[in-house]
Amino acid sequence: MFFAAFVISGVAQWRSGTVARRGARRNRYTSTRLDSLDTSAFEQRLGYTFQQRELLRRALTHKSYSHESREGDVRHNETYEFLGDSVLGFVIGDLLFREFPQLDEGALSKMKAFLVSAPSLAAKARDYGMGEVILLGVGEEKTGGRKKDSLLANLFEAVIAAVFLDGGIDAARQLIERTFNEDIRQIDQQDLLFRDYKTALQEAAQGRGLPLPEYRVVDEVGPDHDKVFVVEVKLAGLTARGEGSSKKEAQQQAARQALSDFGEQYGT
């Protein structure tokens, strides 16, 4: 009886010690990653050095990391995303307003939506290497979180917020201008819908009081892994065709051709 109790007690102590050691290792791992996070190379790429480093650490902390941390107060960046979205939208809107004073609200809104879309912001985050420095939880890390467009787009907004909080609107504006100036310069004023020719064709038809364009797939060429779709669009007696690697792309190309034909016929 005494021997059995002794063994049970020993096993319990071993288990308790193992759990404690695992917890200690996890705590050390979390603390080390957060406290010793070296962002100097990232800040150099960003072109901004933080005075309040805790702001940058907060911006780089994903909620998955915060939730898995055993430290008392590891706050994630979701509210920074909210603030960064507002700052980014304001500055981009101001830049477009000044760059294209002759354009109407609709055209400016389409430009802004394109520039601050998730794919656009994710691409900017990749350019700065933000995915390399974000703090992720184990699960998010395993599922490729560092490469996800949605996560990177949110991260970009969070970093904008951190710059704003650290250096004010001037610092945030300078970063946004450096990041988007080339994109704004390359905007084609004759193609304000950014390849959304379907919407342009629909608006042209509605402006003339005509029925909406009708699209249909008329052919599919090639093997499944390299298929080309041929789409035909009809509008007010006009017929145009377009090709693409997807039905949507083929529709856009058909609409683009129809817009050209429509303009020639109706003088638009």
Active site residues: 85, 157
In whole angstroms, what is the distance from residue 41 CA to residue 129 CA? Answer: 10
Closest CA to 30 of 73, 59, 1: 73
244: CB partners within 8 A, 6+ apart = 228, 229, 231, 250, 251, 252, 253
137: CB partners within 8 A, 6+ apart = 62, 64, 65, 66, 67, 68
Q: In which element (H, E) is residue 231 found?
A: strand 228-235
Q: Where are the alpha helices (DSSP H) in 36-104?
A: 40-46, 53-59, 63-68, 78-99
In whole angstroms, what is the distance from residue 215 CA to residue 133 CA? Answer: 46
In whole angstroms, what is the distance from residue 8 CA to residue 258 CA? Answer: 82
Tally the residues of the chain.
268
Structure tokens at 259: 């817009």
Structure tokens at 196: 């959304």
DSSP, res 224: G
142: CB partners within 8 A, 6+ apart = none
In whole angstroms, what is the distance from residue 145 CA to residue 250 CA? Answer: 32
